[in-house]
Structure 1
Amino acid sequence: MSSGRLTGRSALITGAGSGIGAATADIFAREGARVVVADLDKAGAAATVERIRDEGGVAEPYAADVSDEAEVEGLVEFAVRTFGGLDVLQNYASNRTVVPEDVAVAGADAAVWTRQLSVDLMGCVFTAKHALPHMLRRGGGSITNASSLVGWLPLESRPAYATAKAGVIGLSKSIAVEYGRQGIRCNVVAPGPIVSPGTEGMYTAEQTEVLAEHMAAPRLGRPDDVALAALFLASPEAAFINGHVLVVDGGMSAYAPMVPSFRRLAGEG
């Protein structure tokens, strides 16, 4: 049920054609926001918008590559022109195409790192750069950037991704410090393992079992889990929260790494 927590707000959400971004767009629209659904995948953005409109929400699609500053500028201007301003920015765009090539640092390919950083980190830089002036003119706004648990607890692979997500945290805190006194809040959601269309092919069945074993929760995460956390950060209830990293990982980062082994020894499965 909607409580109208974002009624009257205009929101721009990148990476909203699928996964966490799409779930966030759905929930924000249900909560009264007018949403620009941005994604490199034009069809994915259109599908999210159609779903929102079918539920009575207000949304417009926009195809953009967030690694291209000129395209981002056009995206922000579209959002402002369409809804008369910009109150909320949510960044979920991520480059999944480089996963097989993102290997050990000693074998790093500069092109792979550039492709990862240009979307996951510089995409957040560009959207903030062009959104901030509009938010300041309205007297404030809320920005939430998607990092990852991997941003400070890296896996044994994907160093470029881990570096990009660590950079998102630093960027977000910098924005919070620089613009907080002018009414801008900038926070971070840091998901752990999330089951979504964008991650389904990333893990084998055996790896998925390992992830589940490390949950302090009865299941793996879903896009809605992260979207609801983002809703809180964008809502009036979070008015005094700025520069915060909200971890949404089912408790994965809450305990020492030997706990699953101890569980097995105790016969707990």
Structure 2
Amino acid sequence: MESTAGRLTRKTAIISGAGSGIGAATAELFAREGASVVVTDKDGSSAASTAERIREEGGVAEPFTADVSDEAAVIELVAFTAQRFGGIDIVQNYASNRSLVPFDVAIAEADLSVWVQQLSVDLLGCVLTAKHALPHMVRAGSGSIVNVSSLGAWLSFESRPAYTTSKAAVIGLSKSLATEYGKQGIRCNVIAPGHIVSAGTENMYSDEQTEVMLDHVSAPRLGRPDDVALAALFLASPESSFINGQVIVVDGGMSAYAPMVPSFRRLAEAT
């Protein structure tokens, strides 16, 4: 992954869900760009692994084990970051409760606890990190928050209603944060990835389903964690200083066309 080193020099970033996948790719890229990164994950061993990779490359990183749905844990995370690095400039929220995938079924059939757990991590995790990081950003007069949503926020996949609802709510939350704190120099934006192939998603779909998704991407490949990390870098850097309350879609063009386009392509190939 190519980058221009130094875009985040002297910045401190909290990145949740950074033990693997998109969060880990983002943490590693931010460190290459000069940021001091607090690698946060509920799985402490995976957070430590990401931090160790960063250090091996000469970057600055500290692992921190935290469940972002637990306010006490988030308070400790923010306090640790501020004490260790002197402030908080960037918050990136990638944490998502993937353990609920088999249970996030049709609304009339799902247990309410599934909804509570999904919303607690994917939505309230964003609320809590923002709530406790914002005072540090307000004092500094600047800051960038990026929350991760999904194409599922506005395109139903006929599955995982609790997940898609939480990701739609993330967009509303982010626009509220951008409006409330923009005059104080703090920006909040959203990244909405399409299908991203990572260790956390490769077993979620069959080979046939993966082929269907590739058929619906206006690109020669499916997405990778680095694709999202590069968008996150732009939103965290001064280059996006006049972008606030926006949703950047990283989906290879999956949401750019009418649903019948892939079928028309196949018809044209058959003639």
Q: Aligning the two structures, in what range does the TM-score lie when normalised by the shorter sequence? A: over 0.9
Unaligned runs of 5+ in 2: none
Bigger drift between 87-96 and 107-116 goes to 107-116
Aligned residue type for 2:65: A
The alpha carbon displacement at 1:108 in A equals: 2.5
How many corresponding residue pairs? 269
Instruction: Output the CA distance in 1 between the equivalents of 2:253 and 2:4.
Output: 27
Q: Deviations over 1:71-103 (max 9, x none)?
A: 011111111111000000000000000001101
Q: TM-score, structure 2 length as denominator?
A: 0.98
Counterpart in 2 of 1:217? 219
The alpha carbon displacement at 1:3 in A equals: 2.6
Counterpart selection for 1:79 from 62, 78, 81: 81
The alpha carbon displacement at 1:169 in A equals: 0.3
SS in 2 for 1:71: helix
Bigger drift between 15-24 and 259-268 goes to 259-268
The alpha carbon displacement at 1:171 in A equals: 0.3
The alpha carbon displacement at 1:267 in A equals: 1.1
Instruction: Output the CA distance in 1 between the equivalents of 2:208 and 2:180.
Output: 45
- Report the RMSD for the aligned CA atoms in angstroms: 1.0
Q: Structure 1: which 4+ aligned runs deviate by more than 3 Å?
A: none
Unaligned runs of 5+ in 1: none
Identity %: 72
Q: Deviations over 1:181-240 (max 9, x none)?
A: 000100000000000111111101110000000000000000000000000000000000
Counterpart in 2 of 1:206? 208
Counterpart in 1 of 2:103? 101
Within the alignment, does 1:240 sit opposite 2:242 as a pair? yes
SS in 1 for 2:163: helix
Instruction: Output the CA distance in 1 between the equivalents of 2:193 and 2:211.
Output: 18
Aligned residue type for 1:73: I
Aligned residue type for 2:61: A
* Residues 78-157 of structure 1 mapped to structure 2, 5 A cutoff: 78-157=80-159
Counterpart in 2 of 1:250? 252
SS in 2 for 1:166: helix
Q: TM-score, structure 1 length as denominator?
A: 0.99
